[in-house]
Amino acid sequence: MEFVHPVLGEDVTAIGGHYVLTKEERLRHAGKEVLYLIGYGSVDTSCCGAGGCIYALVPGYVVSYRSRKHPESSLDISLIEPVEAEAHSELATRLKALEGVTQVHFLTGQGGRKVLM
């Protein structure tokens, strides 16, 4: 599956606040390399109160890292394969300890759906 690398540090506004992806890293796991991004979300324009979180987004295992450019945006594209469900818990535990995140989201490759750990 193709993953278009987002622009880091870019504020993305949503209905109740905003989020920012701040860091991109790779981590060795089970003989493969896992691509993950770190970001934070802030609920600061909601009528129901304020809050936020620091999270990791895991697109998957790297097949080909930044191997081509998106034709319209010129953003880098990597080929990835989803992390198997059996590895989610172990990877979530590692990322929470390594990065201090409170949530880990795995892309499943099935229509862009995510699994939250």
Domain residue ranges in the chain: 2-116
CA 48 to chain centre: 26
The predicted structure's pLDDT at residue 16: 84
Q: What per-residue confidence (pLDDT) applies to 23?
A: 97
Give the separation between CA 78 and CA 45, rounded to whole angstroms. 34
pLDDT at 48: 75
Low-confidence residues in the chain, pLDDT < 50: none
